[in-house]
Amino acid sequence: MPVLHKYKDKEKYYVLTSISGKIVTFQLTGEGHEKLLKSGIKNEERFGRALLFDLYRTGDAFTHGAGPGKVEGVDKRQLLFDFPDDPEPESIFPSCSVCNSINDLHLVEVKDKEHFAGIYCSDCRKIRSSTINTSIPLPLINRGLLSRVLEMNNIQKTDKSLTEYRKLLDTEFVNRWEEIAKTKSVKKSINQNRLFESEDDQGSLL
Ligand SMILES: [Zn+2]
């Protein structure tokens, strides 16, 4: 499960999670961090992949170059083995159609022998740059924009990664934010009630 972390030297937050046995760092926008805070998720706390994915697809969480090597002060062994089961599989996150990397993904329009749209990482974009016509950072792509790009460029085919991602963009995740905020506030009110109860007890003793 993803874990929220704060950079030691600045008021910025990032998320670490494990995908395909590798630790992946997701940077957060200010808005992304706000959303997590509002749901009651605090620094060093775990949360569901569905939420991270939702931040990803709205552009509030993104991977960009910062590999696990740049994360300091984190026990990597603990990270690798300390992720309990999550209802959402790791495969919820999109990956490069060619090499499966999830680093710095773009939606690309490829004009080679075939004309199609897909998802490429930065390395694969470099290698195949001569066949790429359009390239847009994936976190900027939403459902409507994707449909428009496909229609305007008359793209009939999407590769496996993009087809999967498109399906996930169509899934409704909004409820999960509400759910998690609800469970958090329920926990809080239970704790508050306990506090009141103990005060009452004291009252009756006096
Ligand atoms: Zn790649």
pLDDT 10s digits, 139-191: 889 888 999 999 999 999 999 999 999 988 877 665 667 777 777 766 666 66
Question: For a pLDDT cut of 90, what percent of the chain falls above it?
Answer: 42
The answer, yes or no, to whether residue 26 has pLDDT greater than 60, is yes
Ligand 1 midpoint to CA 133 (Å): 17
- The residues pairing with 3 across neighbouring beta strands, listed in sequence order, are 16, 46
pLDDT at 50: 86
- pLDDT of 82 > 50? The answer is no
Task: Write down the pLDDT at residue 85.
Answer: 67
Please tell me the chain's helix, strand, coil percentages from 3-state DSSP, rounded to the nearest 5: 45, 20, 35
Distance from Cα 87 to the centre of ligand 1, integer Å: 27
- Place 66 in a pLDDT band, splitting at 50, 70 and 90: very low
pLDDT of residue 186: 65
Spacing, Cα 103 to ligand 1 middle (Å): 8
pLDDT at 23: 83
Q: Of 62-66, 68-72, 116-120, 184-188, give the lowest mean pLDDT range.
A: 68-72
pLDDT, residue 10, reads 84
CA–centroid distance, residue 27 to ligand 1 (Å): 20
The SS3 call for residue 202 is: helix
How far apart CA 27 and CA 61 sit, in angstroms, is: 5
Round to whole Å and give the CA distance between 19 and 199. 47
* Residues within 5 Å of ion ligand 1, judged at the Cβ atom: 96, 98-99, 101, 121, 124
Mean pLDDT value across residues 75-92 = 62
Q: What is the pTM of this model?
A: 0.71
Strands (E), the chain: 3-6, 13-19, 22-28, 61-62, 106-111, 115-120, 132-137
Question: What's the 8 CA to ligand 1 centre distance in angstroms?
Answer: 31
- pLDDT tens, residue by residue, 115-136: 999 999 999 999 999 999 999 9
Q: What would the pLDDT profile of 85-98 be if each residue is shown by its tens digit?
A: 677 778 788 999 99
Tell me the CA–centroid distance for residue 22 and ligand 1, in Å. 15
Beta bridge partners of 106: 120, 137
State which H helix or E strand residue 54 sits in.
Answer: helix 49-57
Q: How far is the CA of 195 from the centre of ligand 1 (A)?
A: 54
C-alpha–C-alpha distance, residues 43 and 23, integer Å: 18
Q: In angstroms, what is the span from residue 49 Cα to ligand 1's centroid?
A: 22
168 DSSP assignment: H
For position 35, what pLDDT does the model report? 92
Mean pLDDT of 47-66: 84
